[in-house]
Structure 1
Amino acid sequence: MKNLGILAPLSIGLAISVLLPSCSKPPSAANESANTLQGKLVLTGSSTVAPLAAEIAKRYEAQHLGVRIDVQTGGSSRGIADARQGVANIGMVSRALKDNEQDLQAFTLAKDGISVIVNTSNPVKSLTDEQVVEIYTNKINNWKQVGGLDAPITVVNKAEGRSTLELFADHFKLKTKEIKADVVIGDNEQGIKTVAGNPNAIGYVSIGSGEYAATHNTPIKLLPVEGVAASIANVSNDTFPISRPLNLVTNKPPTGLTKDFIDFSRSKDVQDIIQEQYFVPISQ
């Protein structure tokens, strides 16, 4: 039986701040004159969306010198809660809204998928859905049981409140309480670093984040799911089994600066940023 690992510090990368740390409440969203938009926006939530939103915010600020944008992470559940309570102007959520979240407005920026990852030194090239389930429930706990080396498997899991965990569990028909983790991490970067640093680890992350890391000399590889290669190309052509929208959410129809930033984030003006971050732009 595995020992449940301690929660990895969520402070690493929890605040991706474009300018200043946020206050407990967002400042006025917009002060609009005839030709300019001014003010500050606070975005909180998904660690998958945050790096993308931060890069979009930098470009937006360069074109609107009177605007400041503060982007923080904390998970999709934080994005939902902060947007709903008005603590943030915009929440970042890396999944579709649930039935009990239909009071919120959602605006899709891009599409992404979720991939199982292992270290590049691991000879295992693929796992069936059943094998993934058995690894994450400790029924399989040595790589030799799935054609790998004789070595114990280190199971890396996402913390509660992360939409990546919810989608992973939903696809593999797992209850989160059934998962037997050795290491619990927060954001995608932590998951990638953990697997890159441990030849016996297995985890799951955003395909965009994973593909970017794998093509930038990080020693991880993305495993196929149901025989389909884990790639942004296959997310784009709708053949990959685990895909999701990346959303910005508000607690009411956006106006002023909030609306302008959301419109900009969904426009062709930022599709190059979305592609550079290894996500799929929405059709325009």
Structure 2
Amino acid sequence: MQNLHNLAPFSIGIATVLLLQSCSKPPEAANKQNDELQGKLVLTGSSTVAPLVSEIAKRYESQHSGVRIDVQTGGSSRGIADARQGVADIGMVSRSLKDNEKELQAYTIAKDGISLIINQKNPVQKLTDKQIVDIYTDKINNWKQVGGSDAPITVVNKAEGRSTLELFADHFQIKTKDIKADVVIGDNEQGIKTVAGNPHAIGYVSIGSGEYAATHQTPIELLPVEGVTASIANVSKGTFPISRPLNLVTKTTPTGLQKDFIDFARSSQVQDIVKEQYFVPVAQ
């Protein structure tokens, strides 16, 4: 009995060591757990957010071999609808949530603005808010009326359901039904191509997309709004009049793979991607 009694403290010591080892896993074990995240995420929505999320998804997949991320566009309205209906795991929305959408969860991954763009050959350097409203409602329909050449204005507008249209119309206090468009486009790339290919066109796109195109040999110019230069730098400073959050939206509080990806998309690990895509990172 005495021998067994003497062994008791030794047995308790061994048990304590084993318990501590199981609770404090080495980094290798933690990394292994990280790699064990598996599954597929479907994200749908904003064409402004989609290129950014696609690049973030590539980096995330490179760190998680068992994960696949499918990114589809279709506009912010689709992102909201698909998230609500459970068709998508995450919706992409390039604006704040409306009052009737507040049951959803929104997570901002970057900030952006909206810029008016014209062709590089157009001599017009600025337009007042009233001139922009008059152009989009067909009260001004020739460039000579605003100091340009004698040529009809080709008005390029976004399709219904695009948050860029909603923010543009809201800022300039235009009813969307009053806009008289010559060309209706979907994503930013289509808008940029349309204006770049037509010396007499005017449109509006994400500042990020517009600034990237203008600095990469696409023949467009970004017009100032209310005297403020359209640039990501001014969006970052908070001085540009038309700005917005770029959000990932979920039906309920995210968990598991869904949460891990959203956390990654909002982290310092992707701020270089956000800047490369000409958006403003969110402070973490």
- Report the AA paired with residue 141 of structure 2: N
**AA aligned opposite 1:236:** S
1:27 equivalent in structure 2: none
| 1:268, distance to aligned residue in structure 2 (A) | 0.3
Which residue of the partner structure matches residue 261 of structure 1?
261
The 5 Å alignment of 1:213-252 reads: 213-252=213-252
Cα pair distance change 1:66/1:234, threshold 3 Å: same
Q: What is the CA–CA distance in structure 1 between the aligned matches of 2:256 and 2:66, rounded to whole Å?
A: 14
Measured in 2, the distance between the counterparts of 1:91 and 1:35 equals 25
The TM-score with structure 2 as length reference comes to 0.88
- Runs of 4+ aligned residues of structure 1 deviating over 6 Å after TM superposition are none
Structure 1 residues 87-236: aligned runs within 5 Å: 87-236=87-236
Which position in structure 2 is the counterpart of 1:9?
none
Which structure: greater helix fraction? 2
CA deviation after TM superposition for structure 1 residue 251, in Å: 0.1
How many equivalent pairs are there? 253
Q: Which residue of 2 aligns with 1:73?
A: 73
Q: Output one character per residue of 1:96-115: Cα deviation in whole Å (capped at 9) or x when no partner.
A: 00000001000000000000
- How far did residue 36 of structure 1 move? 1.8
- CA deviation vs aligned residue, 1:30-72 (integer Å, no higher than 9, x gap): xx96752000000000000000000000000000000000000
What are the ranges of 5 or more consecutive residues in structure 2 without an aligned counterpart? 1-31
Q: Deviations over 1:209-251 (max 9, x none)?
A: 0000000000001000000000000000000000000000000
* 1:40 and 2:40 are equivalent in the alignment: yes
Structure 1 unaligned runs (5+)? 1-31
CA RMSD across the alignment: 1.0
Q: Is the 8 A contact 2:136 2:181 kept in 1?
A: yes
Identity, % of aligned pairs? 82
Kindly provide the CA deviation profile for residues 77-104 of structure 1, in whole angstroms up to 9, marking residues without a partner as x.
Answer: 0000000000000000000000000010
Question: In structure 1, the residue corresponding to 2:38 is in which secondary structure?
Answer: strand
Counterpart amino acid of residue 194 in structure 1 = T
Q: Which amino acid aligns with 1:77?
A: S
- In 1, the alpha carbon distance for the partners of 2:34 and 2:117 equals 51
